Amino acid sequence: MKMASTDIAFSPSVKAAQAARGSRATYRRVEDKGGWRAEIDDDLAAFIAARDSFYLGTVSADGQPYIQHRGAPPGFLKVLGPATLAIADFAGNLQYITLGNLADNPKAFIFLMDYANRRRVKLWGKARIVEGDAELEARLADPAYKAKVERALVFEVRAWDVNCPQHITPRHDEAMLQMVNGKLLERLAALEAENAELKARLED
């Protein structure tokens, strides 16, 4: 029997928990349709291109999970193929926990958040480290971003799903705040100029 893509997350224990709490029938219908999507469509590609950070989950050989934040200018997480993502791996704190985990267990997870629009996307797959591929590193690098590229991290998507916006607290990035504050400051300056002009007329 062919496995649904949702089986990557829905283990027998997860399905048992769903059955006990009343959601199994809903997800069974998703499974009957083949499960979650695996290929990256245009909407997901656009969502990925707009992100300036994400969280990467890996697991050690003995099952210890680890989550690492990755960030850079928007577009640093690149779509290389229908189910392939990659990033330039920059110099960091030299702990190499993700690298070590992937050496033992290639299973990985990417969590993408858009706080401003209250949207999140989950991607399950496998990741690998690519060392010494100058062509790939050049393809992933951002000349305007001053960070040393040490290697590449390639992520093969096996399934992805969009979460509901429930419980996401809206947050806005610096660019959005500068735009909003800029308009407010412009309006304030115009009102101050208008007020000064009215005062001058009254004094006359």
Low-confidence residues in the chain, pLDDT < 50: 1
List the domain boundaries for the chain: 1-35, 37-168, 172-204
**pLDDT for 195:** 85
What pLDDT is stored for residue 1 in this prediction? Answer: 47
Domain 37-168 has CATH 2.30.110.10: yes
Helices (H), the chain: 12-21, 24-32, 42-49, 97-104, 134-140, 174-203
d(CA 146, CA 78): 18
Q: How far is CA 172 from the centre of its chain?
A: 15
